[in-house]
Chain A
Amino acid sequence: MGKIEDYRLVGGLSKEQMDLMHEKSLWLVENEGIHIPHEGILKLLSNYDGVKIEGKTVKFKPELVLDALKKVKFPLPDYAKGPDNWVISAGAHQTKIFDLETRVLREAKLSDLVDMIKLGDALDTVGSAPLVPLDVPPYLAEIYIHKTAYEYSRFRANDMFEHDPRPTIEAANYIYEMSKAANKWFAIGLYMISPRSFDRKELDIVYKFLDRGVPMWAGTLPIAGVNAPITMIGAMIQSMFETFGCLAMLNLINTKSYNYIQIIDSFIAHPFDMKYSTFTYGSAEDIQGALYKISLHKYYGIPMSIKSLLTNGKEPGDAQSAFEIAAFTLAAALAGARIFRCAGLMSSGETYSGEQVVIAKEIVQYIKNLIKSREFSDEKLMVDEIAAVGAGQSFIGRKSTMDLFRTEYWQPELFGHTNLGQWQEMGSRSLWDYANAKVKKLIKEHDYQIDPEIKKELDRILETAKKDGKLMSVYN
């Protein structure tokens, strides 16, 4: 007896099916190749056996892909290791936010960035900066994003869950310098542009960082029916093919550090609604794609981060947004995922909401409690108690009830257990109201600050950047 067997999701892609997908992806890398519009990188690649270059199309022998897959390294932070550590990544540089005072949607400012970073830190979230501050000059936006993250949070922009853009080599240099001053993580990411190409500017940043010994990662975001086949499984093959091509390239050119597959955006396919011409994050098909992704990550032994907290709902605390992220996260968690992304994002990433972050956290806590291991024993079955309490009697005063009522039941913070009368007496507040109050409280009480000496150094770097004509000019 002892334990009730843990709940887990079974089904989906079989090993044979993934073997086939793997073979097909290798075939595409070898016979179709990827487009690399960068002369310097092409020159580096031309030195290797197994690489065939036709114009800007580069084809890789399977051995090179398999070698790259063998050499990948995933430096997961300790807090994310093991099945008992659940991780929430919040934000992905949104430009609009629901104002905490007026609840109106508006452009994000630097003060919002500070508040949302503090909120994220108070909730132990990780990842990239939640917002892009639109009230600072564009050439400083990325620098502020990192500086604020370093100053007000422990985990943010500080490990492999970070995926902030480095739009120019000049900005990348400043961020690199700040990360060294603050002793924070730094990596360069490379997103492919489906089908099977790259942005030339991004390749140039990679190229110019090859001598720095920084980790680099490969990501891709094919969209079903747009830049990938219409079926989710077909779009997934496109993603595998592209990821393999990109990783093989990085493995050959970035030899002074390690390379990896972006655990967030690899083996991923995005469903697309042809009626509205929109991404449909949070849809049933998006979950199907994530379930393929989870199987493939297990197949390749790669850690996984699932975009299950992303929704197309428009308002914090509404039924659509909460349902989509709850169903998605539960399915992913049952399949073995413990790292969940995009908390706070609404409207498929067009908007950010602090309230939605705390709701997402509540949902993740619910799921964690639901699928935790449970004991099965005579002590839990309590047959003696059942026999002892006669008709018309009560279990309320039993010692077992007194001993266990606090530990047997989870007490949620937002999903209250009041009855109707109690809720009305407490002001008939909406879920959005409760979440808003919690957000404000967490921001107010947040107290983490980086060491003042490091802050001074970060301030100095920012001041230099402000006056940097070259940095300014690349954004013009």
Chain B
Amino acid sequence: MKLEEYKVSGGLNKEQMDKMHENALWLCENVGINIPHQGIINILSSYNGIKVENGNYVKFKPELVMNALNEAKYDVPEYAKDEWIISAGAHQTACYDLDNPGRLKEAEEKDLINFIKLGDALDTVGSAPVVPLDIPAHLQHILMHKVAYENSRRRCNDIYEHMDKPSYECAMYVHEMAKVAGKRFAFGIWMISPRSFDAKNLEIAYRLLDKGVPMWIATMPVAGVSSPITMIGTIQQSVFEYLAGLTMLNLINKKSFNYISPNDAFEGDAFDMKYSTFVYGSVEYTEHTLYQIPLCRYYNVPIMTKAALTNSKQPDGQAAAEIGMHTLIAALMGARAFRCAGLLSSGEIYSGEWLVINKEIVDYVKTLLKPQEFSEGRLFIDEIADVKAGGSFIGRKSTMQLFRQEYWMPELFTHMNLGQWQEAGSKSMWQYAIDRAKKLITGHTYQIDDDKKKELDKIYEAAKKDKKLEDSFKIY
């Protein structure tokens, strides 16, 4: 007999999501989105059910939206079907220096390599964790992919990757490297709320249409800034923009499949008007996740929550409380994939030591929610009857047999008492995490096949000398 597994009930019900869905369809049909790209407008104009107004405003009939939703495809990797997933990093430009605890610095190539190794050692997925600022801008994204391919198994290699390809030339280098390394390649389009796009981003998508690459849509409306002030209103806007953006992709990218990015699906960002800041990790951002999870289920989008994101500046109690509560409630709602591990200050900073603590938190939550058996044997009534007043259970056979498996032994959140901790050097949690991060980096061994590495080196050398690539990063 099992104890019924713990989960959280409540939140948006089907009727409420039906209403949000109908609203979104109405907005797609009657309000539409701005698509500032003539080539894409021309393609869309050839379809029935499309209305183009005022040059760039495009409205979609509900049938087209429903068709796009039906045709969306989510190629979730095998490992994600039964594992808990941690996605770490989202191209931060500042990081904590592992050799000088507490010191913030600009990220460099060596940090990129170390953090990719650390992430791989911890089985994390996602995009490159940091942008190496010590190399020219036009090479940064190419190097981020190259280092990820060379030093990790899962990074930049599946649906959890969400890295920018800032120019067509850059995208083509990454595409070429992905083919050589046998890695996945997809192109993402970010909407700019409210209901628009970046023309350059659309141009890259347009030029990739004949390449047969999967494309995804994402949007990040900000409550009170680029969407309504209420979180549920912001999520409503997000649903509208996702549906419209996906419909556009479904009509133009015919040589491959399209999807809603699980990384930011039905995203709506909380914003603090006092500080003019994003407030990831806040109550309201966690509230957004509680809307996001049922909506992902409603639309059959794989669930990936940004539960590991915090606004704290250091790997401290604020950070741990925010991501701990967010991760736990998301897991209780059924999420098993968690994003933005290692990020601090709402994504301004990356921290290897914080990633290690993130992992500990997810392991803890996983332990807490594991199925538990309930049986008369586990009640140990006979043992209780056997051990009289003044007796002890320490020497019992049952204790010897079970004490290791009944209790989880954490790596960082240790069970030392005060005296033991002091004897071990009174090290802070931050220092324990740094030590572990360094050990994992040193002990990391995965390397891509030598022949592939040589080929990647060759492509990278070509990119270094490519004037067209360099020019594509210039701001005119």
Contacts and interface: CB of A to CB of B under 8 A. Distances in A.
Interface of A: 1, 4-14, 17, 20-21, 24, 27-28, 31-32, 34-35, 57, 96, 193, 195-197, 224-234, 237-238, 241, 271, 273-278, 280, 282-285, 287-288, 291, 312-327, 330-331, 334, 347-348, 350-351, 359, 362-363, 366-367, 369-370, 374, 376, 380-383, 385-387, 389-396, 398, 400-401, 404-405, 408-412, 414-420, 422-423, 428, 430-432
A236 to B, nearest CB: 9
Contacts of B31: 386-387
Given A10-B6, A408-B229, A285 B407 contact: yes
B392 A226 contact: yes
Interface stretch (B179-187, B251-259, B306-314, B455-463): B306-314
Given A4-B12, A229-B399, A315-B429, 4 more contacts: A35-B389, A284-B367, A386-B237, A398-B228
Given A5-B13, A11-B6, A326 B324 contact: yes
Contact of B379 (A234, A369, A374): A234
A327 B368 contact: yes
B437 interface: no
A365 to B, nearest CB: 9
B26 interface: yes
A415 B282 CA distance: 8
B228 A31 contact: no
B9 A5 contact: yes
A395 to B, nearest CB: 6
A381 B417 contact: no
Contacts of B475: none
B274 A417 contact: yes
A276 B421 CA distance: 10
A224 to B, nearest CB: 8
Contacts of A288: 368, 372
Contacts of A313: 413, 429
Contacts of B433: 319
Given A28-B385, A408-B284, A229 B380 contact: yes
Contacts of A96: 418
Interface in B1-24: 1, 3-13, 15-16, 19-20, 23
5 closest residue pairs by CB, A with B: A322-B317, A35-B389, A391-B34, A229-B380, A382-B233
A324 B361 CA distance: 9
Interface string B193-226: 0111000000000000000000000000001111
Nearest to B397: A230
Contacts of A232: 406
Contacts of B272: 409, 411, 417
12 contacts: A4-B10, A24-B381, A32-B384, A195-B393, A225-B394, A230-B398, A285-B407, A318-B317, A319-B429, A327-B361, A383-B236, A415-B312
Most buried by A among B281, B376, B402: B402
A318 B429 contact: yes
B100 to A, nearest CB: 14
Contacts of B408: 283-285
A282 B324 CA distance: 13
Contact of B283 (A226, A283, A287, A410): A410
B19 A1 contact: yes
Most buried by A among B372, B376, B389: B389
A230 B383 CA distance: 10
B194 A11 contact: no
A348 to B, nearest CB: 7
B379 A287 contact: no
B27 A387 contact: yes
Contacts of A57: 389
Nearest to B416: A276
Interface residues of B, number: 128
Q: Is the interface of A mostly helix, strand, loop or mixed?
A: mixed
Contacts of A376: 12, 16, 232
B320 A326 contact: yes
B270 interface: yes
Contacts of B30: 387
Interface of B: 1, 3-13, 15-16, 19-20, 23, 26-27, 30-31, 33-34, 57, 94, 192, 194-196, 223-233, 236-237, 240, 270, 272-277, 279, 281-284, 286-287, 290, 311-325, 328-329, 332, 345-346, 348-349, 357, 361, 364-365, 367-368, 372, 374, 376, 378-381, 383-385, 387-394, 396, 398-399, 402-403, 406-410, 412-418, 420-421, 426, 428-430, 433
B329 A330 contact: yes
B228 A382 contact: yes
Given A11-B4, A285-B407, A334-B329, A428 B313 contact: yes
A233 B5 CA distance: 15
Contacts of A419: 275-277, 345-346, 348
Nearest to B385: A32
Nearest to B409: A275
A415 B420 CA distance: 31
B230 A382 contact: yes
Given A318-B430, A320-B429, A381 B236 contact: yes
Contacts of B391: 195
Contacts of A420: 94, 313, 345, 348-349
B392 to A, nearest CB: 6
Nearest to B365: A327
B379 A21 contact: yes
A230 B393 CA distance: 8
B231 A363 contact: no
Nearest to A320: B413
B417 to A, nearest CB: 5
Nearest to B222: A395
Given A14-B4, A35-B389, A395-B229, A276 B314 contact: no
B230 A431 contact: no
B407 A326 contact: no
Contacts of B273: 405, 409
A322 B418 contact: no
B224 A405 contact: yes
A350 B418 CA distance: 7
B274 A411 contact: yes
B384 A271 contact: no
B393 A225 contact: yes
A148 B13 CA distance: 52
A381 B233 contact: yes
A380 B237 CA distance: 12
Contacts of A385: 228, 233
Contacts of B12: 4, 376
Contacts of A20: 376, 379
A432 B232 CA distance: 34
A229 B393 contact: yes
A326 B368 CA distance: 14
Given A287-B368, A414-B318, A400 B329 contact: no
Contacts of A362: 321
A395 B231 CA distance: 13
Nearest to B394: A226
A40 to B, nearest CB: 18
